[in-house]
Structure 1
Amino acid sequence: MYRSEFYVYDQDRPLPVCIRNYTMEDFDQLIEIQSECFPPPFPSELWWNKEQLTNHVTLFQEGALCVEINGKLAGSLTGVCVELDPDNHSHTWEEVTDHGYIRNHNTNGNTLYIVDISVRPKYRKLGLGKLMMYAMYHVVIEKGYDRLLGGGRMPCYHKVAEKMTPEEYLEAVIKGELKDPVISFLLRCGRVPIGVARNYLEDEESLNNAALMEWKNPFK
């Protein structure tokens, strides 16, 4: 079981934080986090359900992390282990995560794949997403996986889609010519773009594209 306790700063005020594995007792708060991160018109049936969460904590609890501030859950990060060809960038979120149910979890896989990361809006300036990502890197190292991988949304791509491809957009963000809140966040977490997955997830802002962002195990 993973558990790490430390402090983060809200301006000049230190706040006690704990990153740990989430459990069945946390399910109601995890669904509440989803409702805050994906409010209407996002369909509520696409928030986590308890069957999915039960699979997360029973099939791969090491990949089920949450962050707690003063006893209240502020966010979560979920992963699944799969076997993926590093050179094959053609997959969808539904395929690689089993629609979030992770019944395809492979103990002997080579890749820890990020299923979801969510942080309550009021806590988003505290760096909690990055801290949870670092915690998941610890899992990659401890379990001996080759890498961590996940598809990052490109929510500002639709603004420039008429004049550049998704690949060109990603390159422009990497060069600092454009800004994208998700891709830039993942870059700050140490993730490296390896390509674009098309038709990855139904997402109007990204035009269904996602940047595949990798973190390699430095001990492999």
Structure 2
Amino acid sequence: MYKTWYVFDGDKPIQAVIRNYTKNDFQGLIEGQKESFPPPFPEDLWWNESQLSEHVERYPQGALCVEIKGEIVGSITGLKIKYDPNEPEHTWSEITDDGYIRNHDPYGNALYIVDICVKPDFRNLGLGKWLIQSMYEIVVYERLERLIGGARMPRYHLYQQKMTAQEYVNQVMEGKIKDPVVTFLLHCGRSPVQVLPNYLEDEESCNCAVLMEWKNPFIRLV
């Protein structure tokens, strides 16, 4: 994939590029992770070069970055899996092979989002939504059934003593709580499926996530 378009910083249009990342981009991608996920996010969950090598070798179509003026300012990574909506339970570690995606299935029916990040200084440009949109395009192009992924709930720790994770999601859906990740993905067209307990070691989300999906509108699913 390679596409250019304009995003707006206030009233000023700025050209952006989304393309497949390569081995030459690894250092920029790792720096982007560090800026995007500062502590208390676990450092061992930042990308390393071994993981990135697997991404570009096993499924380069699902390894995308976004550039502004030649600087990598965000990325998104996916793998193909065989997904059974009747058995949605999983952890991030299980379904992504701890981020190495060695379990990528070329014959899978769904695109699973392993990770998305945008550097904080560039989050006012709407780049995250464009990265998600690019993954939707892959779903359509490869005739997959859906895009899915576990969404962190980074404000849940503020409410854990008052409500369950499912109640928190319900409050987000009612517009009573705005969650940086879940609300963002709703704006991108994703829909919640169910809460995933013990999804990822994540202090802010109390180790929980909500599985969210986008169905291919050109394929009728029962």
Give me the TM-score of the superposition, normalised by structure 2: 0.95
Partner in structure 1 of residue 30 of structure 2:
31
Flag as ranges the 4+ runs of structure 1 deviating above 2 A.
38-46
Judge conservation of contact 2:111–2:139 (CA < 8 Å) in 1: yes
Matching of residues 1-220 of structure 1 within 5 Å = 2-40=1-39, 42-220=41-219
Look up the equivalent residue of 1:56 and give its one-letter code.
H
SS state of the match for residue 167, structure 2? helix
The amino acid of 1:20's aligned partner reads R
Report if aligned partners of 1:81, 1:105 keep a CA contact under 8 Å in 2. yes
Alignment check: 8 A CA contact 2:42 2:202 kept: no
SS at match of 1:181: coil
Q: Distance in 2 between matches of 1:42 and 1:163?
A: 23
CA deviation after TM superposition for structure 1 residue 40, in Å: 4.4
Q: What stretches of structure 1 of length at least 5 have no aligned partner?
A: none
C-alpha separation between the residues in 2 aligned to 1:74 and 1:109? 29
What is the alpha-carbon distance in structure 1 between the residues aligned to residue 118 and residue 22 of structure 2? 17
Secondary structure, in 3 states, of the residue corresponding to 1:8? strand
* Residues in 1 aligned to 2:157 and 2:22: alpha-carbon distance in whole angstroms: 38
Distance 2:169 2:40 in 1: 28
Q: Give 1:196 deviation, angstroms.
A: 0.5
Partners of 2:159 and 2:46 lie apart in 1 by: 29
> Which deviates more, 101-110 or 42-51?
42-51
Give structure 2 stretches of 5+ with no counterpart: none
**Helix, strand or coil at the partner of 1:123:** helix
Contact 1:89 1:196 (C-alpha < 8 Å) held by counterparts: no
More deviation in 87-96 or 100-109? 87-96
Give the conservation status (yes or no) of the 8 Å contact 1:19–1:132.
yes
CA distance in 2, matches of 1:109, 1:45: 28
In 2, the alpha carbon distance for the partners of 1:40 and 1:219 equals 41
* CA distance in 2: counterparts of 1:36 and 1:178, whole angstroms: 25
**Identical-pair percentage:** 56
Distance 2:154 2:161 in 1: 15
Cα distance between partner residues in 1 of 2:41 and 2:75: 19
Deviation for aligned residue 1:38: 2.2
